[in-house]
Structure 1
Amino acid sequence: MSYKSILVHLDTSVRTHPRLEMALKLAHRFHARLTGLFSTYVPPRQAFFVMAGTAEYYAEHERQRHERAGELERLFHAELARSKLDGQWIAANGYANDVVPPYARLADLIVLGQSDPADPESFVAEQFVEHIVLSAGRPVLLVPAAGTFAPPGRHVLIAWDGSREATRAINDALPFLAHAAKVTLLTVHSASDQTIVDRIPGADIALTVARHGVKVEVREVTVEDDTPVGDALLSQVSELGCDMIVMGAYAHSRLREVVLGGATRTILQSMTVPVLLSH
């Protein structure tokens, strides 16, 4: 099993170039076709019919968007040629939460960037990452907004709780796991945890993964009841020297709002290494 097609979301944010560089290296590792999908924040036209003079603002915003898209497209094709990779460029027009998912569903792996409150250009739509994770039906590799990262997968931490989402994440991450030098499967318990009868033990799922030729070290930690699971995961990442987290994304959609589970919310806000999320 491998990723044969990778899609990387590109915009006008500061972190776009590092994200593209990571996607190029991953495409090279997995011998995959790379799609660069350009999508940025697009002001709603109806909002500019209220105030006089705003039509000119909208036109200028469109002009700058197309100019930046052209610059990034030239860079993308140049990098494809330099890396000797096959790929394509797509500029998606419209509200990102609507126009990106149909393209994302065609890829084996999606590379996105974490939202960065310090960079307004990183905002493309409300809860953009959450919407793609929930709607794409494909694994999303989320790259942190701060720090410098080599393509991940040297030491992978799997967050395991026996759920459907965690099971899906492990299966979606198999290409990374197969290339990893070390894989740690971690279960986090709290002191008051009750035994769940139908929960799959970590040792059992590790054996299933091992049948794919992946050696897995099983690890369990117990934390205080008031310690968030997400914080425990990040603490283990630091302690073990992991460069990637694989985890299920716990969320549901309420109209246009995404409601995240606690661990997922913590990781999306405070991630320190790239995270592969599956729903």
Structure 2
Amino acid sequence: MSYKSIVVHLDASERAAYRLDVALLLATHFKAHLVAVYATFAPEPRAFGIMAASAGWYEQVQAACQERCELLGGLFHAGMARTGASGDWIEARIDARKALARHGRCADLIIAGQSDPNDPQTYVADHVAETLVMTAGRPLLLIPYLGAFPEGGANILVGWDGSREATRAVHDALPFLKDAGQVTLLTIGAGKGELPGSRIPCADIATTLARHDVRVSVRETVDAADARVGDALLSEGRSIGADLIVMGGYGHSRWQEMVLGKCTWTVLRAITIPVLMSH
């Protein structure tokens, strides 16, 4: 298994160029076709017609986004020429969530960025990352808005609780896991109701990974509330120097509104290293 098709979301934010660099690096490494989807916040123009003073502001915003689009498009095509990779440049004209999910469903991996409260250009729609995790059906690699990660998955932490979502995430992350120099499985609430020490934590999934030539070590956590599990993952990731966290994305539908579990919500907002998440 490998990633042969990758979709990366680019926007008008300062961090978009770095996200493109990450995508180019991964596309080159995995010999994958790279699809760059440029999608920004697109307010309804008629909404500004009510106030004459807003018309000029809207035109300025659109002009700045278009200028950024052309810049990133140039970087994308230059990257294609430099690396010899294949790819497509797409300027989305619809809601960013719909555009990314549509293209992402035909890819092996989606790359997106964490929302930055200090950069309004990272806002393209409400809950983009959450929506992709829950609706795209593909693994999402979320890049933090701070930091650089040159190793690209050399030291990976996997959050494991035996659930369907965790299982999906582990198998979706196999291309990264097989290349990693160190993989740590962190048990979270596994074996509830069993006597302490009655079985080896993560033994089954560790054996499965070993058949893929992935060598793992196992660490165990005490039971924690849902929100604290997210904190435990991030804390453990920092303590072992991980440059990638792999975890399942948890959620449910309530009154037709997508609501993520507290663990997933915590991680999405507090990450300081990349996270690969599947649902």
Query: What is the TM-score with the length of structure 2 in the denominator?
Result: 0.91
AA aligned opposite 1:260: L
What are the Cα deviations for residues 241-262 of structure 1, in whole angstroms up to 9, with x where unaligned?
Answer: 2111000000234467431112
Of 64-73 and 239-248, more deviation after overlay is shown by 64-73
Question: Which residue of structure 1 lines up, in the alignment, with residue 138 of structure 2?
Answer: 138
Of 7-16 and 60-69, more deviation after overlay is shown by 60-69
AA aligned opposite 2:243: D
Q: Are 2:227 and 2:263, in contact at CA under 8 Å, matched by a contact in 1?
A: no
How far has the Cα of 1:9 moved from its partner?
A: 0.6
What are the Cα deviations for residues 75-106 of structure 1, in whole angstroms up to 9, with x where unaligned?
Answer: 11011111221111000012212222101111
Distance 1:81 1:255 in 2: 48
User: What is the DSSP-based 3-state SS (H/G/I as helix, E as strand, rest coil) of the residue aligned with 1:222?
Assistant: coil
How far has the Cα of 1:151 moved from its partner?
A: 4.5
Distance 1:79 1:18 in 2: 12
What are the Cα deviations for residues 165-208 of structure 1, in whole angstroms up to 9, with x where unaligned?
Answer: 00000010000011011111111349xx5449xxx951111111
1:179 partnered with 2:179: yes
Q: Are 1:223 and 1:232, in contact at CA under 8 Å, matched by a contact in 2?
A: no
User: What is the DSSP-based 3-state SS (H/G/I as helix, E as strand, rest coil) of the residue aligned with 1:106?
Assistant: coil
AA aligned opposite 1:144: P
AA aligned opposite 1:90: I
Q: Are 1:26 and 1:151, in contact at CA under 8 Å, matched by a contact in 2?
A: no
Mapping of residues 1-279 of structure 1, within 5 Å: 1-189=1-189, 194-195=193-194, 202-222=202-222, 228-254=228-254, 257-279=257-279
How far has the Cα of 1:277 moved from its partner?
A: 0.3
Distance 1:64 1:254 in 2: 38
What are the Cα deviations for residues 128-172 of structure 1, in whole angstroms up to 9, with x where unaligned?
Answer: 111111111110100111111115211111100111000000010
What is the identity percentage for the equivalent residue pairs of Structure 1 and Structure 2? 50
How far has the Cα of 1:52 moved from its partner?
A: 3.2
Distance change in 2, residues 1:23/1:151 (3 Å): farther
AA aligned opposite 2:141: L
Query: What is the TM-score with the length of structure 1 in the denominator?
Result: 0.91
Distance change in 2, residues 1:64/1:277 (3 Å): same
Distance 1:225 1:195 in 2: 18
Of 55-64 and 159-168, more deviation after overlay is shown by 55-64
What are the Cα deviations for residues 197-231 of structure 1, in whole angstroms up to 9, with x where unaligned?
Answer: xxx95111111111111112122122666980111
Q: Are 2:6 and 2:27, in contact at CA under 8 Å, matched by a contact in 1?
A: yes
Q: How many pairs align?
A: 274
Distance 1:64 1:224 in 2: 46
5+ residue gaps, structure 2: none
Q: Are 2:109 and 2:138, in contact at CA under 8 Å, matched by a contact in 1?
A: yes
5+ residue gaps, structure 1: none
Of 93-102 and 154-163, more deviation after overlay is shown by 93-102
